[in-house]
Amino acid sequence: MVGCAVVVSPDDPDATGSIVGDSIMQAEASNAAAAITSAPRRRSHIVVVAVVCVAIASALRSSAPAIGHIVRHRSRPYEGAKAEESSVYAARMERAVAVEPECWRRAGLVAAVEAGGTTVVPIEDATALIWADPQNPQLLPETVHDGLDWVQLPYAGIEPFLHMLDTKRIWTCGKGVYARPVAEAALAMTLAGFRNIVAYARETSWSGPVGQNLHGANVLILGGGGITEELLPLLAPFGCTTTVLRRSATPMDGASATATLDELDALLPAADVVILALALTPETEAVIGARQLELMKPTSWLVNVARGGHVDTDALVAALEAESIGGAALDVTDPEPLPDGHPLWTSPRCLITPHVANTPEMGLVLLADRVTENVRRYMANDELVGPADVAKGY
Predicted TM-score (pTM) of this structure: 0.72
The answer as to whether 75 is a domain residue is yes
Residues 230 and 288 in one domain: yes
How many folded domains does the chain comprise? 3
- Cβ neighbors of 104 (< 8 A, separation 6 or more) are none
Q: Which of 345, 342, 363 is nearest to 353 (CA)?
A: 345
Does residue 384 form part of some domain?
no
d(CA 134, CA 153): 8
Q: Identify the CA nearest to 261 among candidates 236, 232, 292, 307.
A: 292
Q: Do 172 and 183 fall into the same domain?
A: no
CA distance 334 to 313: 6
Residues 194 and 166 in one domain: no
Active site members: 307, 336, 355
Residues 109 and 200 in one domain: no
Are the C-beta atoms of 305 and 186 separated by less than 8 Å?
Answer: yes
- Rg of the chain (C-alpha set): 32
Q: Is there a single domain that holds both residue 193 and residue 267?
A: yes
What's the N-to-C CA distance of the chain in angstroms?
55
Sheet of 128-131: strand order equals 97-100, 128-131, 150-152, 170-172
Same domain, 68 and 188: no
Note whether 288 and 306 are same-domain residues. Answer: yes
Give pLDDT tens digits along the chain (394 positions): 434 433 333 343 333 333 333 333 344 444 444 444 444 444 444 333 333 333 434 444 444 333 332 222 333 332 332 334 334 334 445 899 999 999 999 999 999 999 999 999 999 999 999 999 999 999 999 999 999 999 999 998 898 999 999 999 999 999 899 999 999 999 999 999 999 998 999 999 999 999 999 999 999 999 999 999 999 999 999 999 999 999 999 999 999 999 999 999 999 999 999 999 999 999 999 999 999 999 999 999 999 999 999 999 999 999 999 999 999 999 999 999 999 999 999 999 999 999 999 998 889 999 999 999 999 999 999 999 999 998 888 8
Question: Is 141 found in the same domain as 41?
Answer: no
DSSP 255-321: -SEEEEGGGHHHHGGG-SEEEE-----TTTTT-B-HHHHHHS-TT-EEEE-S-GGGB-HHHHHHHHH
Give the domain range for residue 57: 4-91
- Residue 42 forms part of a structural domain: yes
Q: What is the CATH number of the domain that holds 130?
A: 3.40.50.720
Q: How far apart are CA 298 and CA 280, in angstroms?
A: 26
Whether 391 is in a domain gets the answer no
Boundary-marking domain end, from 39, 65, 91: 91
Shared domain for 134 and 283, answered yes or no, is no
Q: Work out the burial of residue 51: count CB atoms within 10 Å of its CB; fewer than 13 is exposed, 13-18 middle, 19 or more buried.
A: buried
Number of residues written out for the chain: 394
- The closest alpha carbon to 276, from 212, 233, 333, 321, belongs to 333
